[in-house]
Structure 1
């Protein structure tokens, strides 16, 4: 806290003081969350990703009344020689970054989540510094398996304004329950309403599919009734509304089809184009041979 006060982070210091004054059970809950996020830093390979090559030993003396004195000396040993990643320089460049992680007990998801969050914040800061409020070059953030490997709690809020700053977010979920568990129903709904939404099949959640049925809407079906009597034959036509597509049809959507909803427009049925059918297929196969994976 003394270090925070010394660098004028008084609100952060005050919050820590408040947390320390909680009951033991409440305090354990707060610090247990921090322990979960920092737990993977006990692995040296993970830790060196976030620490500088040469650590600094910091000593703090004094108090708020007499004055706070901060001294620091760099260690003699160099722990690693990894280059420093600068998020602000990255968002102003044309570079690409591939942040890879896996779900599991030794997952680097907390580090990757922090990295992605820093990049998005750096992009928004850079955009706000420009007259038009947008990045010079748009940033495309493709977050695959986001609910497992990039558990960014602020993601629903980003969806409400990041696009206007040139930060384009693409979030992929394998199952809807992952998003509900992480962001809650309200957060997930916020992401749906503020984005181009794509359903590629393979989901059996009837509540979710019912939403698509309602968005796609109804069409009119003509019913013709034939009446035959002594006076001849008469025809009566009536109209009724029916859903364009049923829940069962969406649940069994073919693998080469997808339904896409653009804001302000009705959903459309599309045919998927697989990478194996594109001009980039040879380059992708060569990449798979070089860097791993199974070529098609």
Structure 2
């Protein structure tokens, strides 16, 4: 349906109408008119298939596209005369910075955020392939709250080659288990293995993951001295045994402001983190943050007042 809308120059919001009525033949006709008969046949098979299967597929699609029901969100992905269109292929040729903000849960646009972030990284990959094979300067993709608002399904697969294209992804998760919930055990393990630098902060409450980290930190030799007494006198013996450098319970008890760094080709390092508010320019950041917070509050209050006005009883 996305392909049909693009081929016919229709806004993405038309897809919601097609999803609401699976029997609507408009996308089928568009695909056939543009020569995409195989895709049209696939869509027809889905629409005319068993009702249980069809309804499940369409309901899943409706959930992903639910953000388009919000007119304010839909406006950002609908062509506007007074607003320039964002084109990922042009963005990757610039030195601009793109900020994508959303929230998880009802009313959020996390699916659109993930789609936009994914399209930018793919455009950057294509740009790198057309040149020397790597972006210069590199592109930094910071995916904060990736498990909530930026669920790119094939992110583990992208991790295996993004670095070689000059695209540096930084994925920030609440926990290792959160990544498993989003990408599965195999996907999270693949992404963990492909990442050349892993930073783990305090608050690890997963015993299995804490034990895994403990094994990765490694063991060290500990000297053990034993003394025995007999009729002939006292004898002392020294033996060596191996012991975990950092036990799982010690990892769980990491103090705030510290972290463990696992980098390829290096032994594990302990880090003392420096808070942003102790960095140069912290005052400027605080001022900007306060101004942005006030603006968000004002918009939320205005939206609430408008919604309440819609339900006032006429005199």
TM-score (norm 2): 0.80
Deviations 1:128-161 (A, max 9, x none): 111x211132111111111111111011111111
- Say whether the 8 Å CA contact 1:146–1:172 is kept in structure 2: yes
Match of 2:66 in 1: 39
- Could you tell me how far 1:226 is from its partner in structure 2? 1.8
Partner Cα distance (2:123, 2:44) in 1: 29
Task: Summarize the alignment of residues 157-176 of structure 1 with structure 2, pairs less than 5 Å apart.
Answer: 157-176=157-176
The aligned residue for residue 17 of structure 2 is none
After superposition, what is the alpha-carbon deviation per residue over 1:141-187, rounded to whole angstroms, capped at 9, x for unaligned?
11111111111101111111111111111111113332222100000
Separation in 2, partners of 1:152, 1:276: 31
1:189 maps to 189
More strand by share: 1
1: CA distance, partners of 2:33 / 2:130 = 28
Equivalent residue, structure 1, for 2:39: 12
Partner of 2:51: 24
Alignment of 1:35-74 (within 5 A): 35-53=62-80
Change (3 A) 1:10 1:178: farther
Shift of 1:43: 1.4
1:207 & 1:33 partners in 2: Cα distance?
33
Residues 106-131 of structure 1: per-residue CA shift (max 9 Å, x gap): 1111111111111111111111111x
Provide the residue aligned with 2:179 in structure 1: 179
Seen in structure 2, the aligned counterparts of structure 1 residues 9 and 129 have a Cα distance that, compared at 3 Å, is: farther
For residues 183 and 11 of structure 1, the distance between their equivalents in structure 2, rounded to whole angstroms, comes to 30
1: CA distance between counterparts of 2:32 and 2:93? 32
Question: In structure 1, how many angstroms separate the alpha carbons of the residues matched to 2:201 and 2:65?
Answer: 36
Provide the residue aligned with 2:94 in structure 1: 93
Q: Matches of residues 1-296 of structure 1 in structure 2 within 5 Å?
A: 1-53=28-80, 81-130=82-131, 132-195=132-195, 196-292=197-293
Q: Which runs of 5+ in 2 are unaligned?
A: 1-27, 295-315
CA contact (8 A) 1:92 1:136 kept: no
Aligned residues of 1:110 and 1:150 also touching (Cα < 8 A): yes
Task: Give the superposition deviation at 1:264.
Answer: 2.7
List per-residue Cα deviations over 1:201-243 (Å, max 9, x = no partner). Answer: 1120011111101111111111111234454432101111111
SS in 1 for 2:100: coil
Aligned partners of 1:92 and 1:137 also within 8 Å: no
After superposition, the Cα gap between the structure-2 partners of 1:50 and 1:211, relative to the gap in structure 1 and judged at 3 Å, is: same
Q: 2:63 is paired with a residue of what secondary structure?
A: helix
Measured in 2, the distance between the counterparts of 1:201 and 1:272 equals: 11
> 3-state DSSP class of the match of 2:237?
strand
RMSD: 1.7
